[in-house]
Amino acid sequence: MRGFRQRSSGIFALAAVCVLAASMTAFAETTDSAGGSSPPVGVESDNASASKQVLQARIQELKELSASMDAVQANLAKVAERALKDSDSAPSLTERRRYEQLYAETNARLGELQTTRTEIARLLGQLETQLEVLKHGR
């Protein structure tokens, strides 16, 4: 049961990343498509202010998600290490294979998590660049 909770926390983190990435993509498309027409005087500064606030909120969410992913990564590393130790001391070949399979799957999840973290860092950089553009004008 303990292993299930540890796996589910990793799955929830990956799901959160997917949802957040989708919302950022939608936001980027919205800000890109809004540049076609000029808004009435005064509305532009309101839109820029709202866009800045949304970007700042998304940046903060990504930073928090990245921090929580650090904890998930540390937890997965502990699970992998424990599975490796348990496979070495397994009393039967069947049990040893189960621990080795757990170790392999956990390492695969660690690889996926690292890929996701790299993508989050890339998205964070894009959002911070967009925020700087909004702050300093185009």
Q: What is the pLDDT of residues 21-35, one digit of tens each?
A: 555 555 555 444 444
Q: Residue 1's pLDDT band (boundaries 50, 70, 90)?
A: very low
In-domain check, residue 37: no
Least confident segment among 10-19, 83-92, 118-127: 10-19
* Inter-residue contact 113 to 75 (CB < 8 Å): no
* Inter-residue contact 8 to 110 (CB < 8 Å): no
* CA–centroid distance for 96 within its chain: 33
Among residues 63, 2, 56, the alpha carbon closest in space to that of 27 is found at 56
Expressed as residue numbers, the domain containing 72 is: 2-29+47-136
CA dihedral (107, 108, 110, 113) in degrees, to 10, reads 180
In-domain check, residue 38: no
Strands (E) across the chain are located at none
In-domain check, residue 76: yes
The residue type at 29: E
In-domain check, residue 40: no
Check residues 132 and 45 and name the one with the higher pLDDT: 132
As a whole number, mean pLDDT of residues 8-32 equals 52
Number of domains in the chain: 1
In-domain check, residue 35: no
Q: Residue 99's pLDDT band (boundaries 50, 70, 90)?
A: very high
Among residues 132, 82, 127, 126, the alpha carbon closest in space to that of 107 is found at 82
pLDDT of residue 109: 96
Question: What percent of the chain lies above the pLDDT cut of 70?
Answer: 67
Taking the alpha carbons at both ends of the chain, their separation in whole angstroms is 54
In-domain check, residue 72: yes
Dist. CA 51–CA 35, nearest whole Å: 13
pLDDT of residue 34: 47
In-domain check, residue 36: no
In-domain check, residue 39: no
